[in-house]
Structure 1
Amino acid sequence: MFNITKKVIKDNKTIKQEAKKKKDEFSFWAWFKNRCSHYCSVTALHGYNHLVRKDFALWEKVIWGILSFAAMVVALSLLYLSLHWNSETPTVTVIESTHFATWNIPFPAVTICNANKIDENRLNQRVGQMILPADIDEDDLEYMLKVFLSGSNSPESKDTLGMLAYILKANNLTTYDFMFDIATSCRRMIQKCMWKGVQVRCDAIFQRVMTLNDACCSFNFFGYDKTNYIAKSASQITEARRVSACGFQTGLSVILNPNIDRYTSAAISSYGFRVMIHDAYSVADDNAETKMVQAGQEGYISVIPEATYSTPEVQEKPLEIRKCFKTDEVKLNTMKKYSYINCLAECRQTIVLKACGCIPYKFPNNGSIPVCEPNKMKCVSELKDFYKSAAPETNFTLPGIYQTVNDKSCGCMPDCDYYTYITEISTGVFSRENAFSSESFL
Structure 2
Amino acid sequence: MLNTVKVRIEIPISTITMLIACTVHAINSHMNHSIMPYAISNGVELSDQDLKDPTSQSNRQDKNVRKREAKFHLNGTRRYFRGYCENTSIHGFKYLAENRTLCERIIWFLLISLSIAACGFWIIRIYYKYVTSPVIVSFATKESPLHAIPFPAVTVCPMTKVRKSVFNFTRVVYDIMDEKNITDEEQLYGQYLSLVCYYGQKYFRPKNTFNANDFYEKIDQMKLNISEYTDGCQYLVDADVSCEKLFHPIILDESVCYTFNMLDRTDIFQDKVFHFKNYHVTAKSPHWDIDKGYTNVTDAFKTYPYNAYLAGYGNGLQITFKQPASELDYMCLQSLQGFSVALHAPHVLPQLNKQFFQVSFGDAVMAAVQPKMMKTSQKVRKYHPDTRECYFTNEKYLTYFKQYTPSNCRLECYTNYTLEMCKCVQFFMPRNKTTPICGNGRRKCIKKVEFLLKVWQLKYTANQKSDTYFCDCKPSCVDITYMVEHSQSIWNYKELHLARRRKPVNESYLYARLTIFFKQESFLTSERNELYGPTDFLANFGGLLGLFTGFSFLSLAEIIYFLSVRICCNFRLYNIWTGPKN
TM-score, normalised to structure 2's length? 0.56
2:444 is matched with which residue?
381
Would the alpha carbon gap of residues 238 and 209 (structure 1) be closer, same or farther in structure 2, given more than 3 Å must change?
A: farther
1:335 aligned onto 2:401: yes
How far off is 1:268 after superposition? 2.6
The residue type equivalent to 2:468 in the other structure is D
The residue type equivalent to 2:150 in the other structure is P
2:477 is matched with which residue?
416
Q: Spell out, residue by residue over 1:73-125, the C-alpha distance to the aligned partner (whole angstroms, 9 max, x if none).
A: 2232121122123212332222225722212222221111112122212436x
* 1:88 aligned to which of 121, 132, 137: 132
In the alignment, is the contact (CA less than 8 A) between 2:285 and 2:305 conserved in 1? Answer: no
Would the alpha carbon gap of residues 380 and 230 (structure 1) be closer, same or farther in structure 2, given more than 3 Å must change?
A: closer
The residue correspondences of 1:240-279 to structure 2 (distance < 5 A) are 240-264=305-329, 265-279=331-345
* 1:186 aligned to which of 205, 226, 233: 226
How far off is 1:384 after superposition? 1.7
In 2, distance between residues paired with 1:115 and 1:69?
A: 75
1:44 is matched with which residue?
none
1:112 aligned onto 2:156: yes
How far off is 1:334 after superposition? 3.6
In the alignment, is the contact (CA less than 8 A) between 1:206 and 1:229 conserved in 2? Answer: no
The residue correspondences of 1:143-182 to structure 2 (distance < 5 A) are 147-150=194-197, 157=203, 160-162=205-207, 174-182=214-222
The residue type equivalent to 2:362 in the other structure is G
In 2, distance between residues paired with 1:329 and 1:145?
A: 38
The residue type equivalent to 1:202 in the other structure is C
In 1, distance between residues paired with 2:400 and 2:182?
A: 41
1:210 is matched with which residue?
251
In the alignment, is the contact (CA less than 8 A) between 1:205 and 1:229 conserved in 2? Answer: no
In 2, distance between residues paired with 1:29 and 1:60?
A: 18
Would the alpha carbon gap of residues 229 and 61 (structure 1) be closer, same or farther in structure 2, given more than 3 Å must change?
A: same
In 2, distance between residues paired with 1:288 and 1:223?
A: 22
Alignment partner of 1:210: what SS?
A: strand
In 2, distance between residues paired with 1:406 and 1:235?
A: 34
Q: Spell out, residue by residue over 1:289-347, the C-alpha distance to the aligned partner (whole angstroms, 9 max, x if none).
A: 42111101111111111111211222233445444322123454443422111111122
In 2, distance between residues paired with 1:288 and 1:149?
A: 15
In 1, distance between residues paired with 2:448 and 2:412?
A: 16
1:7 is matched with which residue?
none
In 2, distance between residues paired with 1:84 and 1:138?
A: 67
1:136 is matched with which residue?
183
In the alignment, is the contact (CA less than 8 A) between 2:285 and 2:304 conserved in 1? Answer: no
How far off is 1:287 after superposition? 7.2
1:291 aligned onto 2:291: no
1:32 is matched with which residue?
84
In the alignment, is the contact (CA less than 8 A) between 1:223 and 1:282 conserved in 2? Answer: no
In the alignment, is the contact (CA less than 8 A) between 2:233 and 2:318 conserved in 1? Answer: yes
2:238 is matched with which residue?
198
2:542 is matched with which residue?
none
Would the alpha carbon gap of residues 201 and 135 (structure 1) be closer, same or farther in structure 2, given more than 3 Å must change?
A: closer
Would the alpha carbon gap of residues 290 and 100 (structure 1) be closer, same or farther in structure 2, given more than 3 Å must change?
A: same
The residue correspondences of 1:320-331 to structure 2 (distance < 5 A) are 320-331=386-397
How far off is 1:359 after superposition? 1.5
In the alignment, is the contact (CA less than 8 A) between 2:233 and 2:243 conserved in 1? Answer: yes
How far off is 1:431 after superposition? 2.8
How far off is 1:383 after superposition? 2.8
The residue correspondences of 1:363-382 to structure 2 (distance < 5 A) are 363-365=429-431, 367=433, 369-372=435-438, 376-382=439-445
In the alignment, is the contact (CA less than 8 A) between 1:176 and 1:371 conserved in 2? Answer: no
In the alignment, is the contact (CA less than 8 A) between 2:413 and 2:470 conserved in 1? Answer: yes
In 2, distance between residues paired with 1:30 and 1:198?
A: 89
Unaligned runs of at least 5 residues, structure 2: 1-77, 169-180, 267-274, 287-301, 504-512, 514-582
How many pairs does the alignment contain?
386
TM-score, normalised to structure 1's length? 0.72
2:413 is matched with which residue?
347
How far off is 1:151 after superposition? 6.5
The residue type equivalent to 1:261 in the other structure is S
1:131 is matched with which residue?
none
In the alignment, is the contact (CA less than 8 A) between 2:199 and 2:332 conserved in 1? Answer: no
Q: Spell out, residue by residue over 1:39-69, the C-alpha distance to the aligned partner (whole angstroms, 9 max, x if none).
A: 64xxxxxxx69979x9x99979976875564
Alignment partner of 1:412: what SS?
A: coil
In the alignment, is the contact (CA less than 8 A) between 1:352 and 1:358 conserved in 2? Answer: yes
Higher relative contact order (CA 8 A, sep 6+): 2
In the alignment, is the contact (CA less than 8 A) between 2:157 and 2:256 conserved in 1? Answer: yes
From the CA coordinates, give the structure whose radius of gyration is larger: 2
CA RMSD of aligned residues (A): 4.3
In 1, distance between residues paired with 2:414 and 2:424?
A: 12
- Which stretch shows the higher mean deviation, 236-245 or 294-303? 236-245
The residue correspondences of 1:52-71 to structure 2 (distance < 5 A) are 66=110, 69-71=113-115
In the alignment, is the contact (CA less than 8 A) between 1:314 and 1:322 conserved in 2? Answer: yes
In 1, distance between residues paired with 2:344 and 2:150?
A: 11
1:312 aligned onto 2:378: yes
The residue type equivalent to 1:111 in the other structure is T
In 1, distance between residues paired with 2:108 and 2:502?
A: 84
In 1, distance between residues paired with 2:194 and 2:281?
A: 34
Q: Spell out, residue by residue over 1:4-39, the C-alpha distance to the aligned partner (whole angstroms, 9 max, x if none).
A: xxxxxxxxxxxxxxxxxxxxxx96444433335x76
Percent identity between the two aligned chains: 19
In 1, distance between residues paired with 2:148 and 2:425?
A: 37
